[in-house]
Structure 1
Amino acid sequence: MRRKETKERILEVALELFSERAYDNVSMEEIAKKVGLSKGGLFYHFSSKYELAKEALFYGFDQWAKTIFPKILSAKSPEDKFKALVDYSFEFILNNPKLSRFFLEVYEESIKHGNELEQWKGFYEEYLELFDSIFEELGVLNPRVRAILFGALLDGLTIHYLMAGEYFDIRDLKKEILEIFLTGRKA
């Protein structure tokens, strides 16, 4: 395999394993073995378990975004874009609870590592820009504030779902979110 293919394979395997089990329960040896590399070969590509986990997480979200963002942005009207955003967000939350746990674990590791939050800010900004652009198209007051609130709502629902399981009625939540965020448009 070429270097780029090897690195992508490592990221895919790491994402799979870290999503299945807690960060502390996955070893570099296990990842290397599943990829078909030596542990040293793995460290050739990633300097630490933390760096590998962080890159695997961002790789997974990037793959998801490359698939979903064009679908959202190709919707015909701003309302349809927002509805698609809500639908795909809930689909992600419901279908990836272990990935959500992994996200929280890697973020916590980033905090432990100190000044490692710039990449997280870029990641967050990418999603906020999508939300903000949709709210601007919708003509709501304070689109940036709405984007931040929508992101916080999704984060809270993700944590709630992670902790409580399927405890809420998805249809009711979607309906309420649409009601809340589609009101307050400019005259």
Structure 2
Amino acid sequence: MRSKESGSPSRTRRARREDLIAAAVRVISQDGYPAASLERIAREAGTSKGTALYHFASKEELYQAVVTTLFEDGAAFMAERLRAAKTPTEKLRTYIETNLRFITLNPAHVGATQRIIENSGAVQVVQVEDAAAPLRRLLESGQASGEFAVFDAEVTALSIRTVIDGAAFYFLARPELDLDHHISEIVALFLRSVRPVPAAPTADSEE
């Protein structure tokens, strides 16, 4: 018969992996990418290099986990809020705002991920085109309902993603920014860009 505690090793292993990922984020953020050896990360996590290698086959695998975890956490953060949005406009506002807000709430993890992507050729990241696909579908649904104007949904989706991804670098490099102001301005910019243009008044309507 299996003990009620039989699930604890997997929970312990998951917790140890999370500790190592968090330690990697701290080391890269505080000391820089070159200093982030597996031994240094393990020491930061309060464990040994051997234990780290038990959970991750290599430093590159740990780096991959840092990147993947950021994208997964961001997706979960967004999904919870997107479920509450009803109209295409609300969904677009929420999509942009939650993306940007997640960046401001997780600067160390975002910064560490940026350094890994810049320096490690072995790490796989979500391609912009793939990340833009759900957004393109959102825009197309707004067009189909008549709530959004006629435009190229693919180009607009890629433009929004480019601004969001660029904001991650811009925000982190300028801690003095009024982030609430920048987020509200970016949201307003794209909401204006998708609204239908009011029809020009005709001669009959002016009489």
- Per the normalisation by structure 1, the TM-score is 0.77
Task: Find out whether 1:173 has 2:166 as its counterpart.
Answer: no
- Aligned partners of 1:97, 1:8: CA distance in 2, in Å? 17
- Aligned partners of 1:20, 1:71: CA distance in 2, in Å? 31
Residues 58-95 of structure 1, C-alpha deviations (whole Å, 9 max, x = no match) = 11321231232232144111111111112212212323
Partner of 1:26: 36
SS in 1 for 2:125: helix
The residue type paired with residue 58 of structure 2 is: S
The residue type paired with residue 55 of structure 1 is: A
Identity over the aligned pairs, expressed in percent?
A: 24
Q: 1:91 to 1:61 in 2, by over 3 A?
A: same
Partner of 2:205: none
Q: 1:156 to 1:50 in 2, by over 3 A?
A: same
SS in 1 for 2:195: coil
Q: 1:63 to 1:20 in 2, by over 3 A?
A: farther
Partner of 1:159: 169
- Pairing of 1:6-155 with structure 2 (within 5 A): 6-110=16-120, 113=121, 116=122, 119-121=124-126, 124-139=128-143, 140=148, 141-155=151-165
RMSD of aligned Cα (Å): 2.7
Please report how far the alpha carbon of residue 36 of structure 1 lies from its aligned counterpart in structure 2 after TM superposition. Answer: 4.3
**Contact 1:14/1:31 (<8 A) preserved:** yes
- Aligned partners of 1:184, 1:50: CA distance in 2, in Å? 47
Number of positions where the alignment pairs a residue of Structure 1 with one of Structure 2: 178
Q: List structure 1 segments (4+ residues) > 4 angstroms apart after TM superposition.
A: none
Please report how far the alpha carbon of residue 35 of structure 1 lies from its aligned counterpart in structure 2 after TM superposition. Answer: 3.7
> Which ranges of structure 1 fall in alignment gaps of 5 or more residues?
none
Q: 1:63 to 1:95 in 2, by over 3 A?
A: closer
**Contact 1:13/1:35 (<8 A) preserved:** yes
Larger Rg: 2
> Which ranges of structure 2 fall in alignment gaps of 5 or more residues?
1-8, 198-207
